[in-house]
Amino acid sequence: MPNIRVVQPEEATGELREVYNDLERSRGQIAEVHKIQSLRPKSIVKHMELYMEIMFARSDLSRAQREMIAVVVSAENNCAYCVHHHGSALNKYWRNDEYVHQLSDDHSVLKLSEIDQQLCELAVALTADPSSSKCQNINRRLKKSGLSDAAFLDATLVIAYFNFVNRIVLNHQVELEEDKGENYKY
- The reply to whether 25 falls in a domain is yes
Q: CB–CB of 174/32 below 8 Å?
A: yes
Predicted local confidence at residue 181, as pLDDT: 60
My answer on whether 97 and 129 are in the same domain is: yes
- The reply to whether 182 falls in a domain is no
E strands, 8-72, in order: none
My answer on whether 72 and 160 are in the same domain is: yes
| Residue 178: pLDDT band with limits 50, 70, 90 | confident
- The reply to whether 86 falls in a domain is yes
The whole-chain average pLDDT of the chain stands at 94
pTM for this predicted structure: 0.94
| Residue 184: pLDDT band with limits 50, 70, 90 | low
- The whole-angstrom separation of Cα 40 and Cα 34 is 10
CATH code, 73: 1.20.1290.10
Share of the chain above pLDDT 90, in %: 87
My answer on whether 118 and 43 are in the same domain is: no
Domain count, the chain: 2
- The whole-angstrom separation of Cα 97 and Cα 91 is 6
Q: CB–CB of 99/70 below 8 Å?
A: no
- Domain containing residue 124: 63-171
- The whole-angstrom separation of Cα 136 and Cα 147 is 15
My answer on whether 47 and 75 are in the same domain is: no
